[in-house]
Structure 1
């Protein structure tokens, strides 16, 4: 079976805030409903907690970090699911059930497994 990473893009919120409880419950239900396909998942902290890392002058160069997200956007990368599916079509069918597909977006990419 192939693996696909389903990246969720939604409003950039604190998913642990009380006002997000009902929506977070929908994500938890999705994970329970698709436990056979979902191999891993995570919710990311809001983008202001991000640190962008760049290396100037290529490998071995000066490491430069910047606090916060790289760019301002309406929707942010807020989490992921690692889905195991027969093919891309099957992975898309699972991804369409992720709540982010209803109020944001879900990007599905094949995973290249290390050998």
Structure 2
């Protein structure tokens, strides 16, 4: 069994979740149970799937959970783009997140 806390990718994803929660605090209250909830769940899914994959017994299972994590990364990226388009935030405020998205898509040990 792997220790997910030793993976740099998990560490970056964990930091990304915390930043998403901070950014989403300023989203309209009318979206609390809609898009705000969706982006929070999508971002939490990134490190969660890495952690779950680390608990699997085969490399194939581990790889599958990493793929799911990448899908959640893409979903989170899209939702941030949507939030920008809807005027809930600006690309300038989110520019620091882009490197983290790229790092979570590159899995290294």
Common fold by TM > 0.5: no
Q: TM-score, normalised by structure 1?
A: 0.35
- Could you say which structure has the higher strand fraction? 1
Structure with bigger helix share is 2
> Which has more radius of gyration?
1
What TM-score, normalized by structure 2, do the two folds share? 0.36
Greater relative contact order structure (CA < 8 Å, 6+ sep): 1
